[in-house]
Structure 1
């Protein structure tokens, strides 16, 4: 039953149960509980679930239930890891081998979840799904509201389980409210449910705007020459490896900085050229420091089933950080930013390089570029997105 989703982070040897229960768990019985069931790990890449759940934690007891990982113990147990933002991260630990057995895994996850909810005394429960696969162990729960936040078309990703589409149909029947991660997904789902709303990727402008004032590069980037063209994010089947190699070959005087973990593809297949620099994964707090040292920010996405419906969070983040953006023709990027003048679209390596040259010209007139970037961003914010979502939930009561 378990499936490592598109951004899943590998997890090593699990801690002992007694080591995982030291931190105090804060639970307010007077407010509702939001149980978020996710295929993404809280501590991997900071993105939509983390932005939203950390904000919902101001009004709800938020429990973030991850996919199981193997442990050496003979019996299943639940690691509870309180996050500094008020979210309780729940990591089910299943004995080696059991996590791969669908029926045994579902039974164990259901028991762990039921036991923890009972111990907390949860009565007013809201269910929030990021993956329909979680229905296998949660469909029995009695919830006042069921939300399906469809941030990606998971069936288009490599390794998607064959039951996914059937489970999604079941979830759409049960859900009271459906959100989508962009307009393309909304167009694909709006005929399947009568209460579907698009919420494209937003941005924490204050966080990324710090890049505009950074003076010092991180040590592993400081020695890289200029101009620097950078990308951060997960490097997986959505990333156009061939495009990167061709662009780097066409402009050997440019430096391409790639930040992020390599997932679900062979790292040996990545291009190795003197002007391509893979710096590995960085924390959310570190990203503005790297972005500050770039002349142009890149979104070299492959055009395939896994990118057909994406609405990249990094588009507004790059702009908030003060960088012009060059992207391949992803539908939601064209729709949201194609006429902005600060996000340039290109579909071939030659066109991509030409767009980067134009972006370098934009960056040279920094004052004018920042004015246009801020106009494009407007009042976009995760605070606004979460507030609108919560209002829709409360209207159902």
Structure 2
């Protein structure tokens, strides 16, 4: 196969649309990411973790590395890149909480501090030219993982046809393009997901304090003799996925055989397919044996050994495969029981240590560790600071919390699984008063579930935070959601907390006799947006060129969705071409209008920036803005960013939204023309001491801590 074909978009788009899953491409990506992380030195891992360096995976494929990297570096901004549009489309669908972009390694200018390139350079005839492209951007680290000694040690039928370059001690460069090799780690994969060796190479700028290292054969031989210490649970997960892949492949083969008679014109294809499957079976069987040996070396778990035997037995005796599945189900059930027992013991220990009376319990809705830190997390944290105990449940899709985690004073994130009711019963058994916290954006909690669990509750707080709309959720709203909303606003012992005047008035008009209604708008964590360390005051890499222009920066951060007025953004950008417009946030609902906006020479879409580092970007705004369409959605919205802009002491310009007109520091425009005038006026006020004092005062009045107290006062428990 020619290099030109191997490195064409057509080839890789076809691969990702075709047999990528079937050939275990996603499983390999996860395995290589584990290898990379375990191989990194403790010093480098600690530097990335403590410095909260942003990380770009330039070989991202379908994005399977990002959740694993997030687990290791939870406060780093992550982005995945690939030059295949189909790979990025699949990545966005698989992992919507992460940011992905289409990019060519030879021409893209990646803004992240750490660039990862895993099992990609071997596809290029001149791989070090790709390295040069990464080095010219001057990241803090370039982390490379490639097959090692492939041509020397692997059998001919194992060498991948797509590989056109091979790496050994002679051709790996230790100095290049202003960078030096500061760490390497050769790994024997034991045939797990890859039938040979891999080598990790870490490069840093020449002027960094780390010493340059040279590849030494004795060191490499010693490394290859030392198994890399992958965690058992990671190996077990990969083992299960690999077996699933094998099983699906065999099913496809059986299906083809059943249709052989009626599809004789495909007989040549099927014969070839059989041969390929037999080879795949041999490779996977070898990988499975190697994995079993590796896991047995790191675990004495009797349950896991039994499970391994069941897999092996089922492989030999297909007729009794169902027995293996039943045994696995039994063992999984035991594991879940142990998990639940540990969870309840953890919760009980917290309850025993808590001297207060009230305990909030939050039904899983949004993960805790996500880039967009929103009202549910902020209210939970501030209620904990106010003295009540808050259990924040997570579905654990990205949080990766084994049992529970204390995230702030009196606030715990729990991996509840299916144990929410047992936790509720435990709270009441400990003579605590349980308060359920339910949000209007929760489309999963049914009326029956709420009624069933309210028997354990002292009160329920129903947070009505947005108009119930398909435009906001991006999905059809089930009838059950409307029915549940109607039930909750009418139910006794339910405090309805509305986040905007329009929502508050709506409840009061629908249920005029209801007294348990409170207006509690959104707020701000003032400390997060005002107390930046010295290193956090540097210009972020993505904004260096924009700031260097010395022109006014008009900034926005938040969702780029159906309610974002792209026509207004285009109008303003054309009317004031000397202003730079920076839009930060994820794109929702696949609006093509944003593609047109991005073509404007003075508009910059930076993608998702994690809440933890968001102030480092927003502090460079000269004016902060909210360019929303004026409609039913925006009229019911209390924008969190409004109060965060206040804390940042940035002049604020918004469209004509009722919730923005409440505040003297906000300049509200009634038309496109007035919006432009307001931007000019805001720039003139950016250093006005009286105006800045007003911003600070209104931020303090709207802190999340104040909002938590308002909720407790509405509950009359303070």
TM-score interval for Structure 1 and Structure 2 normalised by the shorter chain: 0.7 to 0.9
Q: Does 1:387 align with 2:709?
A: yes
> Paired residue for 1:292?
619
Following superposition of structure 1 onto structure 2, how do residues 335-350 of structure 1 map, counting pairs within 5 Å? 336-337=662-663, 340=664, 342-350=665-673
1:208 aligns with 2:529: yes
1:278 is displaced (CA, Å) by 1.3
C-alpha distance after superposition, 1:33-90 (max 9, x if no partner): 31123643333321222111012234343222356969xxxxxxx9645252253334
Provide the secondary structure at the position in 2 that maps to 1:189: helix
1:128 equivalent in alignment to 2:437: yes
In structure 2, the CA distance between the partners of 1:208 and 1:251, relative to structure 1 (3 Å rule), is same
C-alpha contact (below 8 Å) 1:227/1:295 kept by paired residues: yes
Bigger proportion of residues as helix? 2
1:372 to 675, 694, 702: 694
1:390 Cα shift?
Answer: 1.6
| Higher RCO (C-alpha under 8 Å, 6+ residues apart) | 1
Give the Cα separation in 1 of the matches to 2:450 and 2:680.
51
Distance, in Å, in 2 between the alignment partners of 1:63 and 1:33 is 7
Q: 1:89 to 1:178 in 2, by over 3 A?
A: same
- Residues 11, 332 of structure 1: alpha-carbon distance in 2 compared, 3 angstrom cutoff: closer
Q: Which residue of 2 aligns with 1:151?
A: 465
1:325 maps to 2:652:
yes
Match of 1:114 among 401, 414, 421: 421
Cα distance in 1 between the residues matched to 2:489 and 2:685: 44
Contact 2:644–2:699, Cα closer than 8 Å, also in 1:
no
String of CA shifts for 1:126-170, please: whole Å, max 9, x gaps.
Answer: 111113642343320120111112111223634333332211111
Bigger radius of gyration, 1 or 2?
Answer: 2
- CA change 1:61–1:243 in 2 (3 A) is same
Where does residue 106 of structure 1 map in the other structure? Answer: none
Match status 1:43 vs 2:369 = yes
Pairs within 5 Å for 1:174-323: 174=491, 175-191=493-509, 192=511, 193-210=514-531, 215-224=537-546, 225=549, 226-266=551-591, 269-270=594-595, 271-272=597-598, 273-323=600-650
Q: Please, which moves more after superposition, 298-307 or 319-328?
A: 298-307
384-393 or 220-229, which deviates more: 384-393
- Measured at CA, do residues 325 and 211 of structure 1 come closer, stay the same or move farther in structure 2, by a change above 3 Å? farther
Q: Structure 1 252/11 Cα, relative in aligned 2: closer, same or farther at 3 Å?
A: closer
Distance, in Å, in 1 between the alignment partners of 2:605 and 2:657 is 24
Query: Matched residue of 2:673: which SS?
Result: helix
Query: Equivalent residue for 1:362?
Result: 685
**Of 263-272 and 300-309, the range deviating more from structure 2:** 263-272
- Structure 1 residue 62 and structure 2 residue 148: aligned? no
- Which residue is equivalent to 1:74? none
Cα deviation, residue 283, structure 1: 2.4
Structure 2 Cα separation of the partners of residues 80 and 122 of structure 1: 20
Partner of 2:450: 138
Separation (CA, whole Å) in 2 of partners of 1:371 and 1:284? 25
TM (norm. structure 1) is 0.78
- Give the corresponding residue for 2:277: none
Seen in structure 2, the aligned counterparts of structure 1 residues 138 and 276 have a Cα distance that, compared at 3 Å, is: same
2-structure distance, mates of 1:144, 1:162 = 28
In the TM superposition, what is the alpha-carbon distance from 1:212 to its structure 2 partner? 12
CA pair 358-211 structure 1, distance change in 2 beyond 3 A? farther
Asked if 1 retains the 8 angstrom alpha-carbon contact of 2:367 and 2:397, the reply is no
- How far off its partner does 1:219 sit? 1.6
- CA distance in 2 between counterparts of 1:308 and 1:281 reads 25
Q: Is the 8 A contact 2:363 2:393 kept in 1?
A: yes
Q: CA-atom RMSD, angstroms?
A: 3.4
Partners of 2:530 and 2:648 within 8 A in 1 = yes
Contact persistence 1:237–1:306 (CA under 8 A): no
- CA change 1:374–1:118 in 2 (3 A) is closer
Instruction: Point out where structure 2 has 5 or more consecutive residues left out of the alignment.
Output: 1-94, 99-233, 238-331
Gapped regions of structure 1 (runs ≥ 5)? 1-8, 71-77, 94-110
Q: Specify the alignment match of 1:5 in structure 2.
A: none
Equivalences, count: 358
Q: What secondary structure, in the 3-state scheme, does the structure 2 residue paired with 1:57 have?
A: helix
